[in-house]
Structure 1
Amino acid sequence: MAKKKEGRESGKKQDFTGECDLDGGFVSPIKTVRDLSLKNIQSLVTASRYFQSLIVLMVIGLFLRFYNLGFNSLWLDEASTYTISVKSFAGIWQVTASGEFNPPLFYWAEHVMLMLGNNEVILRFIPALLGVLTIPLFYLIGKEFLDRNAGIIAAAACTVSPFLIYYSQEARAYMMMLFFVALATIFFLRAMKSGSLIHWILFGVFSALAFWSHFYAFVMIAALVLYALIEWAPRIRTELANLRMLVAGIIVFVVLSLPLIIVTLQLFVLRTSSAPTYGIQGLGIILETFIQVAGMNDIAMYLLVALFIVGIIQAFRIGKNKGIFLVLITVLTFVISYILSFKMPMLPRYLIFLSIVFFLGIAVSYRVVYSLWNTRAVVYGFIILLFVISAPVLAGYYSGFSKEDWRGFSATLQQKTLPGDVVISVPGYISQPLDYYYSSTKAQTKEYGATTAADLDRVTTESGNHTIYYVVTGDISAADPAGDAVQWLKNNTTYVGSDATQLIYLFTRS
């Protein structure tokens, strides 16, 4: 009897499909919404290692994204978020239509949040919350793409990614875009399997929401549609019904995004009309994106990129279509970004949706190790590895400033200035983060903006004999690429000091 019992127990632990099963054969009683009951939920919580692991990851992700959420000052882009979000809903749309290079959805959401108060935590709350909610979406993507193990590893990568944590603590639309792109990807993968009209419609809806969050989401959406067309190309006649469903999803996207599409075309012409003065050009955008997505650490990049490549190879072994999915989205995104980098400013954060494909490829690579070492420890080992790789970067991230210290700088400036003094922001638009913390009314000073040497000459002359303070950041190189303003400052001012990060500089008239 003992031998039979031992055999049954070992049979429970072994997955005869050859795939690792952390649940030891447990089957979730919840298949649809109708199955939701206290008993079934309790069964899932107590018996499913995947569900338990996902809860733990979300708790950790919650802590990592909300810890010290208000520690860093708002920097230029975040201050711009505030400047736009305080406008009315119609005013926010007008700003977008007039040339703002970000869609209005995130600003609308921030407008609502500002009704609850006005501080760094309020402004960063939505990205932080969406950062946490994206963790289970990575799990579902991995599960749909391959299996639950790939899902939990991808979720772990999302949880501790310094790149995603950083943008979860920034009052910009990047995490909102990633959240909706992840939802669109889930329903895309489901639609490819089921051919269900509702799945294609939901793909269209969430794709539209992603596009309304950030223009660059269109690259991922286009890559997914192209993948579907490539997948069905050899059997287009037999897959005609599916093609119609895909077209239905595209129509939903176009209808929901039509006003924004018109504005986007106009803005694209405007933004590409002259060479970019900042950002990363050429192949540099590829390397820098890998560095940042992999955790802002060279060693981590080499290791994770190696796992990503192994994952792609393994994906081709599992099914050619899976390998094509990973390669197509990655290559297409980089090719488009490479070309556009010579036409408009290009930064790795615009490519944040690539973290889905990158972490998915890393997660798929577990199959290679599992084929050599048939134990559940492989899955847990991958999760631990991701935590260990991220730990040093996160320790540094939470131990000091990761953004310009406008709060501290403005407090110092408030102490230095006397009634009647003049403060000049160089370039002029950095007055946005400065004015969030510094009150010229309270200090009884006058504020001006200057970008070029001619601006500086004019404002300085108009200020007469008053004491002048020049607030300068590295943005001056992008705003005045000829360098005339920098030379003017060297010739006519004296250095006073900087903020704690040495990214904001204070000068006074010589």
Structure 2
Amino acid sequence: MASAPQPSSAATGRRFSPFAWAIFALGLVLRLLYLGHKSLWLDEAATYTLCRLPFREFAHAWWTHEANMTVYYGFMRLWVHLGSSEFMLRLPSALCGAAAVPVLYEIARRLFDRNVAWMAALLLAVNPSFIELSQDARSYPMTLLLVLASAWFYIDALETDSIRSWTGYVSFASIAVYAHFFAALIIAAFFFAFLAKARAERRWLRGMLAYVALGLLCLPAAAFVVFRSQTLDLYWLDTPSAKMLWNFAKFLFGSGAKVVIALLLLVLGAWFVWSHREWRWRAFFLSLWLLLPVAITALGSMHHSIFAFKYLLICLPAGLLLCTVGAARLPWRWGCIVVAVLTAASIFTDVQFYRKPREDWRALNQFVVTRYQPGDAVTFYPWYTRTAFDYYHERTGPAGLAFGVPMVPPDDLAGTAEDRAHPERVVEGLTNPRIWVVIYHPDRPVPHENERVQTLVSAVPAGYAQVEKKDFPNLELRLFEKR
């Protein structure tokens, strides 16, 4: 294992060993386990809301705010006809996450060898952040799968220069951009790697034509970013810092000793590949894949932050490939031991994730249902969080419950900083005998949040007294009753 890895031709030998199939099965099981156990959270409720809108309203929301996940929303609008339970809404993400594992295996086998392939596939199969996002009704696992598929065709195109492979790359890369715009950063990384490869081998024509076609296909996405990005308010994201970059490394590789071991292996793998002249382009390619999207996002966030870790999940495969090349560089027994330790530690974190509470809109709604009295009203701070409550309310009622805030329009599902700045508005004009106030507390710190909650409570009309308070994960429920 300590010698230079030899690339495996995709056309030779048995494609998947029984051990590889076991890894793929593990990835699927870990993503399906407890898939419908937790309540939907706010972003997932937004997915459901968009997918059940009449087409005209959806088209308006798409053009004003939601073009970033066009492919995903288009697919989910069809998928919800099969079912809209928590399990069914999350199932496409789980399947995409599981499918990404064998694709990474094939990429690693093509670039290096079977040892690197099974190690990389295993670490992706158990990766805690990827499993968590694979259990979300959002587009991130689909985007990663499409990026990996485009990478496979890209590598094949650079080796064979065939029209079929360039067409496959352009197809999957363009679809990935419309699954999430951040996939365009991977296209940029791949383009610079292509320039280095083409310069060395003097094969330009088909590759350049492919990139021209890809650019034309991505023009509508670029137009949205240029002309509509000012409508997007990612107020909850902080400006990148050294601490944030360290936290991003922990997001990719795990916290504690896992991230330290992974980074040491990554450095070893990168040094090893760079030190072999015949492998130098592979090191350049993987380094660009891992680092360029992060660098561009960090620079772009200096004025208005867009540095969300889940947006950069697409960098994970490159990091794992470099890590596993480092592990493969070790003596066989030690390499296997290190990968086994990382796998066991990741599975332990996965188990903790299954048990970790999340926004429990299901339990909150059930609590209101069991204590409902005719004439009750419910209101929400911020007001747009009503979306998540509505998902459960339309299933369990009660039908007579009044709402202190309007239904959330489809072009305002994410809310804005302004929505949090005026908490008193959500209780203005309410005269019902009893008022339920739902207060949403995100995981991240929000400036002045405690003061705003106090402003909200103080703004409840005179003559009401708080008679009950109940806490749920990330949620707070207060009941006010007329005296």
Give the structure-2-normalised TM-score: 0.86
Answer yes or no: is the 8 Å Cα contact 2:181–2:221 preserved in 1: no
Q: Distance in 2 between matches of 1:216 and 1:302?
A: 27
Answer yes or no: is the 8 Å Cα contact 1:424–1:448 preserved in 2: yes
Q: Where does 1:36-435 land on structure 2 (aligned, <5 Å)? A: 44=14, 51-88=17-54, 91-100=57-66, 102-233=68-199, 235=200, 239=202, 242-271=203-232, 276-283=234-241, 284-295=243-254, 297-318=255-276, 319-342=279-302, 343-369=304-330, 373=331, 375=332, 377=333, 380-401=336-357, 403-435=358-390
Aligned to 2:440: 473
Q: Distance in 2 between matches of 1:155 and 1:220?
A: 20
Answer yes or no: is the 8 Å Cα contact 1:128–1:169 preserved in 2: yes
Gaps of 5+ in 2: 407-417, 461-465
The equivalent position to 2:427 in structure 1, one of 460, 473, 477, is: 460
SS of aligned partner of 1:471:
strand
Answer yes or no: is the 8 Å Cα contact 2:108–2:117 preserved in 1: yes
Computing the radius of gyration from Cα coordinates, the structure with the larger value is: 1
User: Once the 2 structures are TM-superposed, how far is the Cα of residue 55 of structure 1 from its aligned partner?
Assistant: 0.5
User: Once the 2 structures are TM-superposed, how far is the Cα of residue 300 of structure 1 from its aligned partner?
Assistant: 1.2
Aligned to 2:456: 489
Answer yes or no: is the 8 Å Cα contact 2:5–2:112 preserved in 1: no
Q: Give the direction of change, closer, same or farther, for the CA distance of 1:461–1:177 in structure 2 (3 Å limit).
A: closer
Answer yes or no: is the 8 Å Cα contact 1:408–1:499 preserved in 2: no
Q: Give the direction of change, closer, same or farther, for the CA distance of 1:278–1:442 in structure 2 (3 Å limit).
A: same
Aligned to 1:31: 11
Q: Distance in 2 between matches of 1:183 and 1:148?
A: 18
Q: Give the direction of change, closer, same or farther, for the CA distance of 1:453–1:223 in structure 2 (3 Å limit).
A: closer
| AA aligned opposite 2:251 | Q
Deviation track 1:465-487 (CA, whole Å, cap 9, x = no partner) reads 53111101125999996876333
Q: Distance in 2 between matches of 1:338 and 1:472?
A: 32
User: Once the 2 structures are TM-superposed, how far is the Cα of residue 500 of structure 1 from its aligned partner?
Assistant: 4.1
SS of aligned partner of 1:104:
helix
Q: Distance in 1 between matches of 2:445 and 2:62?
A: 22
| AA aligned opposite 2:206 | M
User: Once the 2 structures are TM-superposed, how far is the Cα of residue 498 of structure 1 from its aligned partner?
Assistant: 4.0
Q: Give the direction of change, closer, same or farther, for the CA distance of 1:475–1:378 in structure 2 (3 Å limit).
A: closer
User: Once the 2 structures are TM-superposed, how far is the Cα of residue 245 of structure 1 from its aligned partner?
Assistant: 1.5
| AA aligned opposite 1:392 | F
User: Once the 2 structures are TM-superposed, how far is the Cα of residue 490 of structure 1 from its aligned partner?
Assistant: 4.9
Answer yes or no: is the 8 Å Cα contact 1:89–1:108 preserved in 2: no
Q: Give the direction of change, closer, same or farther, for the CA distance of 1:417–1:476 in structure 2 (3 Å limit).
A: farther
Q: Distance in 1 between matches of 2:177 and 2:421?
A: 40
| AA aligned opposite 2:48 | Y
Q: Distance in 1 between matches of 2:317 and 2:444?
A: 34
Aligned to 1:40: none
Q: Distance in 2 between matches of 1:418 and 1:175?
A: 43
Pick 1 or 2: higher relative contact order, CA cutoff 8 A, min separation 6.
2
User: Once the 2 structures are TM-superposed, how far is the Cα of residue 150 of structure 1 from its aligned partner?
Assistant: 1.3
Answer yes or no: is the 8 Å Cα contact 1:277–1:345 preserved in 2: no
User: Once the 2 structures are TM-superposed, how far is the Cα of residue 81 of structure 1 from its aligned partner?
Assistant: 0.3
Deviation track 1:119-142 (CA, whole Å, cap 9, x = no partner) reads 011111111111111001111121
SS of aligned partner of 2:476:
strand
Q: Give the direction of change, closer, same or farther, for the CA distance of 1:488–1:55 in structure 2 (3 Å limit).
A: same
Q: Give the direction of change, closer, same or farther, for the CA distance of 1:441–1:389 in structure 2 (3 Å limit).
A: closer
Answer yes or no: is the 8 Å Cα contact 1:417–1:443 preserved in 2: no
What RMSD, in angstroms, separates the aligned Cα atoms of the two structures? 3.0
Q: Distance in 2 between matches of 1:198 and 1:53?
A: 31
Q: Percent identity?
A: 23
SS of aligned partner of 2:68:
coil
Deviation track 1:89-119 (CA, whole Å, cap 9, x = no partner) reads 5653432211226221111111111111220
Q: Give the direction of change, closer, same or farther, for the CA distance of 1:485–1:228 in structure 2 (3 Å limit).
A: same
Q: Distance in 1 between matches of 2:256 and 2:334?
A: 24
| AA aligned opposite 1:489 | L
User: Once the 2 structures are TM-superposed, how far is the Cα of residue 456 of structure 1 from its aligned partner?
Assistant: 4.8
Q: Distance in 1 between matches of 2:423 and 2:324?
A: 54
Q: Give the direction of change, closer, same or farther, for the CA distance of 1:476–1:427 in structure 2 (3 Å limit).
A: farther
Q: Distance in 1 between matches of 2:380 and 2:445?
A: 15
User: Once the 2 structures are TM-superposed, how far is the Cα of residue 405 of structure 1 from its aligned partner?
Assistant: 1.1
Give the structure-1-normalised TM-score: 0.82
Answer yes or no: is the 8 Å Cα contact 1:281–1:341 preserved in 2: yes
Aligned to 1:12: none
Q: Distance in 1 between matches of 2:65 and 2:251?
A: 29
SS of aligned partner of 2:65:
coil
Q: Give the direction of change, closer, same or farther, for the CA distance of 1:70–1:476 in structure 2 (3 Å limit).
A: closer
Q: Which moved more, 1:83-92 or 1:335-344?
A: 83-92
Answer yes or no: is the 8 Å Cα contact 1:205–1:252 preserved in 2: no
Q: Give the direction of change, closer, same or farther, for the CA distance of 1:249–1:381 in structure 2 (3 Å limit).
A: farther
Q: Give the direction of change, closer, same or farther, for the CA distance of 1:407–1:54 in structure 2 (3 Å limit).
A: same
Q: Give the direction of change, closer, same or farther, for the CA distance of 1:210–1:90 in structure 2 (3 Å limit).
A: farther
Do structure 1's residue 505 and structure 2's residue 463 form an aligned pair? no
Q: Give the direction of change, closer, same or farther, for the CA distance of 1:479–1:161 in structure 2 (3 Å limit).
A: closer
User: Once the 2 structures are TM-superposed, how far is the Cα of residue 225 of structure 1 from its aligned partner?
Assistant: 0.6
Answer yes or no: is the 8 Å Cα contact 1:101–1:267 preserved in 2: no
SS of aligned partner of 1:300:
helix
Q: Give the direction of change, closer, same or farther, for the CA distance of 1:169–1:423 in structure 2 (3 Å limit).
A: same
User: Once the 2 structures are TM-superposed, how far is the Cα of residue 144 of structure 1 from its aligned partner?
Assistant: 2.1
Deviation track 1:72-93 (CA, whole Å, cap 9, x = no partner) reads 1110000000000113556534
Deviation track 1:347-394 (CA, whole Å, cap 9, x = no partner) reads 10000111111101111102320xxx3x4x456435423321212211
Q: Give the direction of change, closer, same or farther, for the CA distance of 1:119–1:136 in structure 2 (3 Å limit).
A: same
Matched residues, number: 459
SS of aligned partner of 1:462:
coil
Q: Distance in 1 between matches of 2:156 and 2:470?
A: 53
| AA aligned opposite 1:398 | Y
| AA aligned opposite 1:268 | S
Answer yes or no: is the 8 Å Cα contact 1:204–1:252 preserved in 2: yes
Q: Give the direction of change, closer, same or farther, for the CA distance of 1:459–1:53 in structure 2 (3 Å limit).
A: closer
Q: Give the direction of change, closer, same or farther, for the CA distance of 1:344–1:481 in structure 2 (3 Å limit).
A: farther
Deviation track 1:218-250 (CA, whole Å, cap 9, x = no partner) reads 1111111122123444x5xx61xx322122222
Answer yes or no: is the 8 Å Cα contact 1:418–1:443 preserved in 2: no
User: Once the 2 structures are TM-superposed, how far is the Cα of residue 400 of structure 1 from its aligned partner?
Assistant: 3.9
